[in-house]
Amino acid sequence: MISLELNEDYQELTKTVREFANEVVAPVSAKHDAEHSFPYSVMKQMGELGLFGLPFSEDFGGMGGDYFALSLAIEELARVDQSVAITLEAGVSLGAMPIYCFGNQAQKERWLPALCAGTELAGFGLTESGAGSDAGGTATTAVLKDGSWVINGAKEFITNSGTDISTLVTVTAVTGTHKRDDGSTAKEISTLLVPRETPGYNVEPAYDKVGWRASDTHPLRFEEATVPEENLLGEQGRGYANFLSILDEGRIAIAALGTGAAQGCLDEATAYAKTRTAFGRTIGSNQGISFKLARMAARVHTSRLAYYCAAARMLAGKDFKTEAAIAKLVAGEAAMDNARDATQIFGGYGFMNETLVARHYRDSKILEIGEGTTEVQLLLIARSLGL
């Protein structure tokens, strides 16, 4: 028989992060959301717990765990605060993981210890105003001159790019062209490590976002930003391909985040339905409410199984692209649907920003857009069917 029970180490991690989320994150989440403020104290404690180093080797200051451990931690944090969860997810899977997977020894030794400790944060600069799902539309350029890369362009929606502890961003840029098999010309896209202090690296004012308001997101502008030739990350021309592999893994983590958000909505709505009375009885005793909660529970269960499956295949060294796309699709929709239903159960109180379900309602929509839209996931799944 196949067992889906977590082993003792995973169970202990889940318990630890759940307690941390309840005792440290939850009490200040409404305040940071209302103020659009970054929770530095929470991040410091997460670093001390080792959460930013979970999937990395101890050689670079990591915890020696794996990507599934990271996903479990993200799920628990997302139950109470999606902004905190996405800061961890982006800091690890988009910020540190490209360096860990494609960096040379010197790059790993230079950047990973602080990133694993959570004392510094990194971001990944892919999205542009005309290049999101179509990353081949990248317009940012990097030209090699006298042993240095000179970068010009702009990036949008870059997480962890403007905090006091943001230290670098990995930028995708056009570094040349190459011929396709059919004779046509295509852009050569590479990735470059750009430290925060680089002249010409400009962090624009933060966005006024609908949700994830305590996470850090900025547009970036590069004007003759110059970095050493050795700041090339991985092989020249392999930047886009490498990022796609990072994105496949990231979809598992985002699915875990969506699962946690869906679970948080279920927890809040169930507790409320057991105590809120109308017409002389609790509203949870009404079939209309109880069936809504039952559907919410089914969504949580399905999305958790989906990301567990994708993670298991990844850790076993099997192809997991389709399973990751399915997990991301299912979990994103589960979070949004559960947030909508939880808000309905709460009624007028669900429309008040100080309630957790209201924050989940605002936060969850981006899970159907960020790190690969719902439509992109459907495209990937359809391709796996030979369509």
The string of pLDDT tens digits covering residues 171-182 is 999 999 877 777
Average pLDDT over residues 208-217: 97
Whose tokens are 């997460």? That residue is 46
Closest CA relative to residue 115, chosen from 179, 57, 200: 57
Closest CA to 117 of 49, 55, 175, 177: 49
Query: Which distant-in-sequence residues (6+ apart) come within 8 Å of 331 by Cβ?
Result: 254, 255, 256, 257, 258, 259, 262, 303, 306, 307, 367
DSSP string for residues in 32-88: HHHHT---HHHHHHHHHHTGGGTTS-GGGT--S--HHHHHHHHHHHHHH-HHHHHHH
- pLDDT at res. 284: 97
* 240 band by pLDDT with thresholds 50, 70 and 90: confident
Residue 48: how many other CB atoms lie within 10 Å: 12
**Residues tagged active-site:** 371
Please report, rounded to a whole number, the percentage of residues in the chain having pLDDT higher than 70. 99
CA end-to-end span of the chain: 34
Q: Where are the alpha helices (DSSP H) in the chain?
A: 8-20, 26-35, 40-49, 67-80, 82-89, 97-102, 105-117, 239-275, 287-315, 321-346, 356-364, 374-384
Provide the 3-class DSSP secondary structure of residue 154. strand
Domains for the chain: give ranges and CATH numbers. 8-121 (1.10.540.10), 123-237 (2.40.110.10), 241-384 (1.20.140.10)
Which of 352, 210, 334 has the alpha carbon at shortest distance from 261? 334
258-295 confidence digits (pLDDT tens)? 999 999 999 999 999 999 999 999 999 999 999 999 99
Question: Cα torsion for 132, 135, 321, 364, to the nearest 10°?
Answer: -10
CA gap 261, 121 in Å, rounded: 23
Q: What distance in Å separates the CA atoms of residue 35 and residue 13, rounded to the nearest whole number?
A: 30
Residues 73 and 86: their CA atoms lie apart, in Å, by: 11
Where does the pLDDT of residue 1 fall: very low under 50, low under 70, confident under 90, or very high at 90 and above? low
pLDDT at 32 over 70: yes
Asked whether the whole model's pTM tops 0.75, one would answer: yes
Let me know the angle formed at the C-alpha of 252 by 251 and 254, rounded to the nearest 5 degrees: 60
Other CB atoms within 10 A of residue 336 CB: 24
For 348, which DSSP code?
G
pLDDT (0 to 100) of residue 241: 86
Lowest mean per-residue pLDDT among 155-159, 186-190, 275-279, 284-288: 186-190
**Nearest in space to 355 (alpha carbons), one of 264, 277, 285, 255:** 264
For residues 93 and 100, give the distance between their C-alpha atoms in angstroms, rounded to a whole number.
Answer: 10
The neighbouring-strand residues paired with 194 are 169
- For helices 239-275 and 287-315, angle between their N-to-C axes, nearest 10 degrees: 150
Looking at the DSSP bridge assignments, the partners of residue 158 are 218
pLDDT given for residue 245 in this prediction: 85
